[in-house]
């Protein structure tokens, strides 16, 4: 009885499976859809050297058998013989990218562990050579325990040898009656380590540049040092945000003060002048002075992205993320949330698993977005002494770093809890392609920075401007009788008293309570609100000129200020984020849940911070 011989091409995305498929089968192809899914089934006829035909199928690329995307699901089921209506392929042709051997070997081990007759096509040898890498197929074959054939699919190099190896594997498959000897399964970290050793063992020589790049990877992706290096880098960034921004921030502050003085000196007193000095200049101006810090933070982020380090940070974080039940796929959305949770939440669309995605949406607001930077920077500058706690380590930068870490830790713990309760499910592994290291181009950096700065200034000119003016109006009317405080008399004062009753137990004063309300529009409004409130409150012009920072230093106790910082780590003070969460989850249920748990966390942590600080005598 002769039956149809079969073989399937498997491997990571972009290994060159389709290119090999086309080269091996030529025009003898049939394209259809797998039943029930929109994934294409590509089959073709490969003629072995003996003249015998083999049905070759080109499977979708896959990073792992644990993955959940529909494409990867098809690949997993077909090679396990679980796909309805699809015969278990007799031979697996595992396609590896020689230029990215180490990454491709991670999935390769899973395929080989199936114990099926397997042939490796070590493809893209030409690209490896271009990168200055000479590989030893024999050594790799020995390490993997299967034949390895070097190929260049696009130039038809190695195709005859590959066809011969497939023919031998077909004979082996029929000898063994397609019996499978499943080998030992390794965990993802074990496979990564083994991939590293195998790739090294199969490398005969490499160019200086390639050695430099892989040397960098050895250090930056080291299982033990990788994470501390990432943390140290973040630490340096926050030191720089404070240390480098100061002269620029001072200059901006001076400019805003000078304009304010000029307005006071030039125009007669009254409604309009007060609106400009107390509302626009004191309020919006107080936010704009944080532009240098935003620019410095993003300069670092952009350099990390452009140099190729960011993808490596994702790789390092993947291990941590897996431990809390998220995949590395959540890293990019969470990282974007450092700029703003809105693009972060939108980026979760790339996460295939719905529970993974939901969890990522729910924790994204915990990542410290750039809108918190002005709040943190203001309060820290006002209450944390500008001293050093070690050579080159400023206390202010250290506190800022701690707040960012608190946000990340909060997100991780929240994810862990959510994955065990409302979004139950198993973690899926993730392996991504590492881009090459590159020198960032100055022009691209400049454009990226300009875009971030513009987003910030536009917010100041629109949402922050409007919220601050609205607050100023509420603060300014009705007018106080002589001797009475303007805030007590105003509409805003009445609102503040109501909110204050709720937040007094966690150490907040009344101005803070008032600032929380308009800050729902955008977190930076907390800064402009405080500035406007103190400007209206002080009434006489000399005191208006007193910088917001000094007002806070004079009026707030340290426990109160720390409680306010703790509040902003958790509080979902952003209506746009809530609206985006509603759109991305198709309903109010999850955004309401998100707002509820985040406010609860903010309240508990701010309260705990306050009372611990009071007990410690701060």
What is the contact surface with Mg ion in residues (CB under 5 A)? 17-18
Question: How many Å apart are CA 97 and CA 123, to the nearest integer?
Answer: 5
Partner whose footprint covers residue 14, from Mg ion, ligand GTP, none (CB < 5 to 8 Å by kind): ligand GTP
Instruction: CB nearer to ligand GTP: give 199 or 574.
Output: 199
- Sole binder of ligand GTP in the list 48, 113, 127, 233 (CB under 6 A): 127
Question: How many Å apart are CA 214 and CA 212, to the nearest integer?
Answer: 6
How many residues are recorded in the chain? 618
DSSP 217-258: HHHHT-TTTHHHHHHHHHHHHHHHHHHHHHHHHHHHHHHHHH
Q: Please give the DSSP secondary-structure letter assigned to residue 421.
A: T
For residue 11, the Cα-to-chain-centroid distance in whole angstroms is 26
Residue 111 interacts with ligand GTP (CB under 6 A)?
Answer: no
Residue 99 interacts with ligand GTP (CB under 6 A)?
Answer: no
Residue 284 interacts with ligand GTP (CB under 6 A)?
Answer: no
Spatial CA neighbour of 334 closest among 304, 293, 368: 368
Residue 64 interacts with ligand GTP (CB under 6 A)?
Answer: no
Q: Which parts of 477-519 fold into alpha helices (H)? A: 486-489, 491-503, 510-516
Spatial CA neighbour of 378 closest among 581, 582, 553: 553
Residue 126 interacts with ligand GTP (CB under 6 A)?
Answer: yes
Instruction: CB nearer to ligand GTP: give 60 or 285.
Output: 60
Plot region of 117 (φ>0 → left; ψ -120 to 50 → alpha; else → beta): beta
- Strand duo 133-135 + 203-206: pairing: antiparallel
- Sole binder of ligand GTP in the list 124, 202, 295, 487 (CB under 6 A): 124
Instruction: CB nearer to ligand GTP: give 94 or 321.
Output: 94
Q: How far is CA 214 from CA 99, 199, 217, in A?
A: 12, 11, 5
Instruction: CB nearer to ligand GTP: give 11 or 226.
Output: 11
Partner whose footprint covers residue 154, from ligand GTP, Mg ion, none (CB < 5 to 8 Å by kind): ligand GTP
Partner whose footprint covers residue 261, from Mg ion, ligand GTP, none (CB < 5 to 8 Å by kind): none
Partner whose footprint covers residue 612, from Mg ion, ligand GTP, none (CB < 5 to 8 Å by kind): none
Token pair of 571 as six digits: 């509080």
CB of 194 to Mg ion, least distance (A): 26
- Sole binder of ligand GTP in the list 54, 119, 152, 525 (CB under 6 A): 152
On the CB side of 292, CA atoms within 13 Å amount to 17
- Sole binder of ligand GTP in the list 48, 154, 489, 495 (CB under 6 A): 154
CB of 22 to Mg ion, least distance (A): 10
Residue 532 interacts with ligand GTP (CB under 6 A)?
Answer: no
Partner whose footprint covers residue 126, from ligand GTP, Mg ion, none (CB < 5 to 8 Å by kind): ligand GTP
CB of 47 to Mg ion, least distance (A): 21
CB of 127 to ligand GTP, least distance (A): 5
Instruction: CB nearer to Mg ion: give 11 or 283.
Output: 11
Residue 61 interacts with ligand GTP (CB under 6 A)?
Answer: yes
Instruction: CB nearer to ligand GTP: give 108 or 581.
Output: 108
Residue 137 interacts with ligand GTP (CB under 6 A)?
Answer: no
- Sole binder of ligand GTP in the list 8, 19, 163, 220 (CB under 6 A): 19
Spatial CA neighbour of 70 closest among 38, 100, 98: 38
3-state secondary structure of 33: strand
The sign one gets for the Cα dihedral 271, 276, 278, 284 is positive
Residue 13 interacts with ligand GTP (CB under 6 A)?
Answer: yes
Q: Please give the DSSP secondary-structure letter assigned to residue 586.
A: T
Q: Angle 214-198-21 (CA atoms, 0-180°, nearest 5)? A: 95
Instruction: CB nearer to ligand GTP: give 95 or 566.
Output: 95
- Sole binder of ligand GTP in the list 10, 111, 149, 153 (CB under 6 A): 153
CB of 16 to ligand GTP, least distance (A): 3
Stretch that binds ligand GTP, among 121-129, 330-338, 436-444, 589-597 (CB under 6 A): 121-129
Residue 56 interacts with ligand GTP (CB under 6 A)?
Answer: no
Partner whose footprint covers residue 123, from Mg ion, ligand GTP, none (CB < 5 to 8 Å by kind): ligand GTP
Instruction: CB nearer to ligand GTP: give 152 or 256.
Output: 152
Instruction: CB nearer to ligand GTP: give 107 or 242.
Output: 107
Instruction: CB nearer to Mg ion: give 18 or 576.
Output: 18
Q: Which residues neighbour 10 within 8 Å (Cβ) at sequence distance 6 or greater?
A: 17, 59, 62, 75, 79, 92, 93, 94, 95, 111
Spatial CA neighbour of 203 closest among 121, 119, 113, 143: 143
Question: How many Å apart are CA 143 and CA 348, to the nearest integer?
Answer: 38
Token pair of 348 as six digits: 């979760």
Stretch that binds ligand GTP, among 119-127, 173-181, 363-371, 607-615 (CB under 6 A): 119-127
Question: How many Å apart are CA 572 and CA 308, to the nearest integer?
Answer: 32
Question: How many Å apart are CA 607 and CA 591, to the nearest integer?
Answer: 24
CB of 444 to ligand GTP, least distance (A): 24
Residue 402 interacts with ligand GTP (CB under 6 A)?
Answer: no
Decide: 231 and 408 in contact? Cβ < 8 Å. no
State the residues that interact with ligand GTP by CB under 6 A.
11, 13-19, 60-61, 123-124, 126-127, 152-154
């Amino acid at each position: 009885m002769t039956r149809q011989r079969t073989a399937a091409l498997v491997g990571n995305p972009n290994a060159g499976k389709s290119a090999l498929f086309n080269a091996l089968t030529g025009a003898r192809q049939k394209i259809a859809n797998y039943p029930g899914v929109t994934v294409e089934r590509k089959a073709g006829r490969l003629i072995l050297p003996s003249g015998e035909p083999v049905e070759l199928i080109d499977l979708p690329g896959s990073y792992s058998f644990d993955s959940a995307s529909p494409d990867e699901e098809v690949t997993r089921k077909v090679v396990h013989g679980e796909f309805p209506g699809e015969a278990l392929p007799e031979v697996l042709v595992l396609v590896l990218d020689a230029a990215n051997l180490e990454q491709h070997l991670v999935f390769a081990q899973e395929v080989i562990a199936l114990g099926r007759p397997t042939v490796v096509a070590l493809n893209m040898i030409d690209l490896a050579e271009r990168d200055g890498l000479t590989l030893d197929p024999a050594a790799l074959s020995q390490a993997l325990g299967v034949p390895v054939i070097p190929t260049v699919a696009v130039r038809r190099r190695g195709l005859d040898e590959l066809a011969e190896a497939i023919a031998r594997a077909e004979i082996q498959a029929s000898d063994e009656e397609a019996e499978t000897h499943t080998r030992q399964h390794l965990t993802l970290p074990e496979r990564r380590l083994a991939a590293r050793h195998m790739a090294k063992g199969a490398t005969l020589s490499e160019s200086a540049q390639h050695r430099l790049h892989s040397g960098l990877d050895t250090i930056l992706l080291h299982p033990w040092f990788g994470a501390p290096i990432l943390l140290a880098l973040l630490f340096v960034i926050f030191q720089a945000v404070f240390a480098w921004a100061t002269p620029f921030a001072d200059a901006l502050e001076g400019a805003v003060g000078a304009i304010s003085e000029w307005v006071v000196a030039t125009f007669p007193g009254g409604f309009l002048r007060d609106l400009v000095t107390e509302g626009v200049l004191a309020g919006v101006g107080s936010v704009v002075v944080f532009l240098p810090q935003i620019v410095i933070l993003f300069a670092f982020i952009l350099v990390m992205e452009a140099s190729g380090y960011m993808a490596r940070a994702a790789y390092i974080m993947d291990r941590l993320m897996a431990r809390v039940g998220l995949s590395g796929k959540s890293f990019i959305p969470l990282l974007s949330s450092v700029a703003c949770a809105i693009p972060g939440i939108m980026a979760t669309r790339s996460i295939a698993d719905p529970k993974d995605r939901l969890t990522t949406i729910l924790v994204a607001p915990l990542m410290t977005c750039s809108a918190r930077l002005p709040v943190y920077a203001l309060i820290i500058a006002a209450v944390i002494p500008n001293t050093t706690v070690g050579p080159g380590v400023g206390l202010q930068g250290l506190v800022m770093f701690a707040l960012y870490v608190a946000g990340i830790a909060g997100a991780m713990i929240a994810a862990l809890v959510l994955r065990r309760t409302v979004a139950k499910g198993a973690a899926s592994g993730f392996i991504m392609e590492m881009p090459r290291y590159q020198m960032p181009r100055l022009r691209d950096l400049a454009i990226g920075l300009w875009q971030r700065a513009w987003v910030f200034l536009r917010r100041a000119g629109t949402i922050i401007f409007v919220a601050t003016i609205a607050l100023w109006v509420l603060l300014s009317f009705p007018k106080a009788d002589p001797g009475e405080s303007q805030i007590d008399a105003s509409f805003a004062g009445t609102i503040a008293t109501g909110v204050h009753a709720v937040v007094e137990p966690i150490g907040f004063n009344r101005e803070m309570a008032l600032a929380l309300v308009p800050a729902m529009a955008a977190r930076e409004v907390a800064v402009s609100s405080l500035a406007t409130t103190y400007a209206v409150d002080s009434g006489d012009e000399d005191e208006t000129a007193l910088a917001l920072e000094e007002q806070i230093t004079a009026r707030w106790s340290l426990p109160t200020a720390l409680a306010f910082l703790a509040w902003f780590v958790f509080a979902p003070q952003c209506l746009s984020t809530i609206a985006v969460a509603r759109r991305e989850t198709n309903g109010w249920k999850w955004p309401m849940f998100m707002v509820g748990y985040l406010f609860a966390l903010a309240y508990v942590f701010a309260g705990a911070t306050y009372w611990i600080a009071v007990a410690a005598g701060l």
